[in-house]
Chains A and B, each alone.
Chain A
Amino acid sequence: DVVMTQSPLSLPVTLGQPASISCRSSQSLVYSDGNTYLNWFQQRPGQSPRRLIYKVSNRDSGVPDRFSGSGSGTDFTLKISRVEAEDVGVYYCMQGTHWPWTFGQGTKVEIK
């Protein structure tokens, strides 16, 4: 199985400051069709996960533009340009290139 490794696992951030989460995969996530199926999810406290980003850098409808995804191959990043109070929660990367789908351990974002 592809192992997804996130860092850091805990990220205290000051309101209005940027935040960055890294996600590394144990194998390349480039599929035979040329696409890279790397997703990011946000799980706010007490809520279900919500997809933020698909195929590395595409924001879902309704996702604020302060969220951005980047990366290629085995190395990916989720950035929040200016953290707001509603961004508190756990963020997961997930690969859909190889079966089985696998998730990172999660990064807990909290306000300092």
Chain B
Amino acid sequence: QVQLVESGGGLVKPGGSLRLSCAASGFTFSDYYMSWIRQAPGRGLEWVSYITSSGSIIYYADSVKGRFTISRDNAKNSLYLQMNSLRAEDTAVYYCARVGYYDSPDYWGQGTLVTVSS
């Protein structure tokens, strides 16, 4: 069955960096686009970034453009999110999601919490 397991979250000071990872299994990772979506505590969902299966096309939300970098390693079945210059407003649970047919997130991981605080 499809499994997405995020890791790498934690407490970081404003201006700091963090790298999130998402280990995928149960499907052919290299065939699928992937995405990161976040949810601030007690708030709604916000799309963060998207990457095609080969990594040739990447999109970012304006709120993270220039600070976050999405990447993938198809040989390792893994998705990454490098987060630099973190701000308090980046505090959220970050979900890794598979982009299924019809270009929509059809499977989500359990999420990893990123807290940006001094």
User: Chain A residues in contact with chain B, CB under 8 A?
Assistant: 35, 37, 39, 41, 48-51, 54-55, 58, 60, 92, 94, 96, 99-106
Contact = CB atoms under 8 A, between A and B. Distances in A.
Q: Which range contains the number of B residues in contact with the other chain?
A: 20 to 34
B59 A48 contact: no
Contacts, number: 51
A96 B45 CA distance: 14
A39 B61 contact: no
B44 A48 contact: no
Given A48-B110, A92-B45, A100 B103 contact: no
13 contacts: A35-B102, A51-B104, A51-B105, A51-B107, A54-B106, A55-B102, A92-B44, A94-B104, A96-B102, A96-B104, A99-B59, A100-B47, A103-B47
Contact of B95 (A49, A94, A103): A49
Instruction: Tell me which of A39, A48, A60 has the highest count of chain B C-beta atoms within 10 A of its own C-beta.
Output: A48
Nearest to A1: B62
Identify whether the interface residues of B are mostly helix, strand, loop, or mixed: strand
A55 B3 CA distance: 24
Contacts of A94: 45, 104
Contacts of A48: 95, 108-111
B89 to A, nearest CB: 16
A103 B61 contact: no
A48 B102 CA distance: 20
Contacts of B95: 48-49
A49 B108 contact: yes
B44 A104 contact: yes
A103 B45 contact: yes
B73 interface: no
